[in-house]
Structure 1
C-alpha cells in the first residue's frame, strides 16, 4: 500500500521523524503535487512565512588547490574563470552595506582555496571587525578549513555563521573530490560548532549521484544539527570534468527539495545555485518546502536580483523583512539564526 505523503507530513509536524535506513522509496514515486503540499505544510509549521535571504561576495577567486570536479575555480580545471587576490576592505564593506540597504538578512565573503594564508586571515579579521562595528546585517563566511582558534577569532570579529558544504553523500564524495575527504568536511563543521558558530551546509545535486545519495546527504546534515541547508543544482561548466553531465529537470529539483524538507523539518532549506533551471527562477520551490534563499549575484551561476526576489516572495505572501531590522525595531522574537 502506498504511503500517504500528506498524512506523513502531519505525522512529522506531530513529532515523527524519518529514520536513516528506513525504506523511503515511496518519496521517489509519490505524486509530486501531493509531496509538494506535504512539504509546504511542514515548512509553514516549523519555519513560518519568513524567508531568510543571504548574499555572497567572491572575496578571493581562482587558483584553488582542491580538485572539486564541479568547480570553475579549481586550478585542476581549465575554465578560464576570473582570478583575483583577496579584495580590499573598502570593496567588501561597500558590498555588505549595499546588501543591507536592500534588506538582506546575511552577507558572506566566500574565498577560493583550501584555507587562507596567515596574512589573508588577519586581513579578513579586520574586514569583519569593521563590518560588525559599522553595519547591522548578519555576517557569514566561507573560508575553507580553519582551526578552532581561527573560528573563535571570527566569532569575536562578528561572524555568526560559517558556510561549509558537505557537497554530497559519504559514498559519492570521492567521485567529487580527492584532495580532501568527507571526514575533513565533517571535522571542520564540528570545529566551527564547538566555537558557538552556526553552520550553513548543504550540497550540489546533479553530479551523477543516486537518489539514495541525496537521501543520505539529508540525513548526514540532520545528524550534524545543520539548520541552514543550501540545495544547489549543478550548472555544468565548460572545462570541468562534469561539463557534459545532463542538466537536472525541474521535477527532480523540486522532489529533492521536498525530500530534504521531510527529513529536515526544522531546518531552513535554502534555494541556492542553479535556480535558472526552474521556471520563474525557482518560484515553485517556495511552495515545495524551501524557506530561504541565496539571492543577488552568485559565484558561477546567475540568479535573480534582490529586488526581484523580494517582489516574487511578497506575491507569495512571504515575509522578507530581515531579522536584524525586526530586532532593531524591537519587534517580537527573533527567528532562530540560520
Structure 2
C-alpha cells in the first residue's frame, strides 16, 4: 500500500469505507503512515489546534457498569464523590480556562443521565457562562432527551460529548447496563437538534485493531467532527485494573489510522498522553489536531500552559487569540446535521 498516494487520494475526495480492505493499517510502516496522516491533517485542519477542557460537575456513584470507569458503583475505587457543583465554582473554572487560551469548556457528570433539579442547575450555569464568557460550551451528561438537548442549546451549549467507546462488536465486553444502539440514538438526537457531537472512545480495553477500525468507520458514518481518543490507564479497583498499557507505537498507529478514516475531523488527544513521548508531541506529528487539556486533569498529566508551549514550539496555532477559533473543516460545529 502506497500510503502517501492514499493520503493524496483522500485529500482529493476519496473516503475509506467498510467496503475497503483496511487491514494494511495493522502492518504498514508506521513512519509513512504518520507522514500521510499529518499531510491529511495539514490539508483539512491546518496548523490550528483546538483545545478543550472539562470540569467534573457531578462525580461518583454511577449505576452503569463500564469496566474501565472509576466512578461506577460496580468498581471499588477511591474516586471523589460529590453532587452537582456550585454555579460559582463552575463559572470561575470556565473563566480561568478561557483566560489561559482554551477554546471550549465542558461540564461532565457521572450517571446514566443528568435530570431533575441538577439538570436545572446545569442549564442555569450555561446561561450564565453564555452571558459572561466567550469560551465555547459543551455538555457531557449521558442519555439526555430531545427536550433536554433543546434546552441546553438554548442555554448556549453548541457541542455534546458522548463517546461510543469502542466497536459495536466489542461493546458488550465493557458494558451491559446500556447498549451501543443507545449511544448511537443519543448522538443522532443531539445532531437532529442542531448540536455538534464530540464522540470517540478508549483503546487498550482488550479490543483488536479491527475493532478500532470499525469504531473509526462508525464515527465517520455519523459525521462526527471531534473524535477524542483515550488510551486506557487502568485504574485499581476496576475490572480492567490488570490490563497492560498500550505501547507508544500502537497508540500512534491508531491515531494515524483515525485521521485517514476521518480526514475532516479533529482527532483529539485525550487520556493516556503520558504513554506518548514528548508530552504527546509525536501524536501531533501523526495526524492529531486537537487535545483535551486542563490544570485539573490527571489523565493528561499536563497543564494548559505546558500544552500551549509545546504546540507553539511545533509551529501550531493555539489559544482563542490565534486567529479563527475554528479550523475550516475540523471545527466540531461543521459536523452538525
TM-score range, shorter chain: over 0.9
- How many angstroms does 1:93 deviate by? 0.2
Counterpart CA distance in 1 for 2:323 and 2:282 is 27
Counterpart CA distance in 1 for 2:67 and 2:298 is 14
Counterpart CA distance in 1 for 2:5 and 2:329 is 31
Counterpart CA distance in 2 for 1:251 and 1:311 is 24
Counterpart pick for 2:331 among 319, 322, 336: 336
- How many angstroms does 1:327 deviate by? 6.2
- How many angstroms does 1:333 deviate by? 7.8
- How many angstroms does 1:49 deviate by? 0.4
Counterpart CA distance in 1 for 2:297 and 2:85 is 15
C-alpha distance 260-335 of structure 1, shift in aligned 2 (>3 A): closer
- Per the alignment, residue 280 of structure 1 pairs with 278
Counterpart CA distance in 1 for 2:330 and 2:44 is 11
TM-score, with length taken from structure 1: 0.95
Counterpart CA distance in 1 for 2:248 and 2:265 is 22
- Per the alignment, residue 205 of structure 1 pairs with 203
C-alpha distance 334-233 of structure 1, shift in aligned 2 (>3 A): closer
1:66-94 residue CA offsets vs partner (Å, 9 max, x unmatched): 00000000011001111111000000000
CA contact (8 A) 1:206 1:248 kept: yes
CA contact (8 A) 2:199 2:227 kept: yes
- Per the alignment, residue 240 of structure 1 pairs with 238
Counterpart pick for 1:296 among 294, 299, 314: 294
- Per the alignment, residue 110 of structure 2 pairs with 112
- Per the alignment, residue 214 of structure 1 pairs with 212
- The secondary structure found in structure 2 opposite 1:139 is strand
- The secondary structure found in structure 2 opposite 1:309 is helix
Counterpart pick for 2:42 among 44, 61, 74: 44
**For residues 13-162 of structure 1, what are the structure 2 equivalents within 5 Å?**
13-162=11-160
C-alpha distance 41-55 of structure 1, shift in aligned 2 (>3 A): same
Q: Give the ranges of 4+ consecutive aligned residues of structure 1 lying more than 2 Å apart after TM superposition.
A: 297-300, 325-328, 331-338
CA contact (8 A) 1:53 1:292 kept: yes
What value does the CA root-mean-square deviation take over the aligned residues?
A: 1.7
- Per the alignment, residue 188 of structure 2 pairs with 190
Moved more, 216-225 or 273-282: 273-282
- How many angstroms does 1:297 deviate by? 4.0
- How many angstroms does 1:299 deviate by? 5.5
**Structure 2: segments with no counterpart, 5+ residues:** none
TM-score, with length taken from structure 2: 0.96
